[in-house]
Amino acid sequence: QVHLVESGGGSVQAGGSLKLSCAASGRTFSSYVMGWFRQDPGKEREFVASIWWDGGNRIYAGSVKGRFTISRDNAKNTVYLQMDKLKPEDTAVYFCAAAYGTTWLRDQRQVDYWGQGTQVTVSS
């Protein structure tokens, strides 16, 4: 069982930055591929980024590549999402996700555990 709690959301102007954190409970955190997804009301939840167990490989959605950076600290059971050059279209609820037994996490159907979500609002 893994319990995920996000923090760091908020409101920012376009071009600004935010850093999201996701703290995980459980001693097997390093066994999970971790990721971030986001969802705007009335839209499908979409993939943002994911990172391997050891942080060695990361993948990003095309819409955030070059602006967002995912990282993890297994000693702290925490995964991060640094978001720079934010745009109004990045506005959404951001969810932390954990997947076990997979390599490349990019589909919400692969996710075993979800956080409760944190709101990010970018104004123009």
DSSP string, the chain: ---EEEE--EEEETT--EEEEEEE-STTGGGSEEEEEEE-TTS--EEEEEE-TTS--EEE-TTTTTTEEEEEETTTTEEEEEE-S--GGG-EEEEEEEESS-SS--SGGG-SEE---EEEEEE-
Q: Note the pLDDT tens digit of each residue in 43-86.
A: 999 999 999 988 889 999 999 999 999 999 999 999 999 999 99
Q: Which pLDDT score is estimated for 26?
A: 80
Q: Distance between CA 31 and CA 46 in Å, rounded?
A: 23
Phi, psi of 31 (to 5 degrees): -90, -10
Q: Note the pLDDT tens digit of each residue in 77-112.
A: 999 999 999 999 999 999 999 999 888 899 999 999
Q: Distance between CA 100 and CA 8 in Å, rounded?
A: 25
Residue 50: both structure tokens together: 């994911």
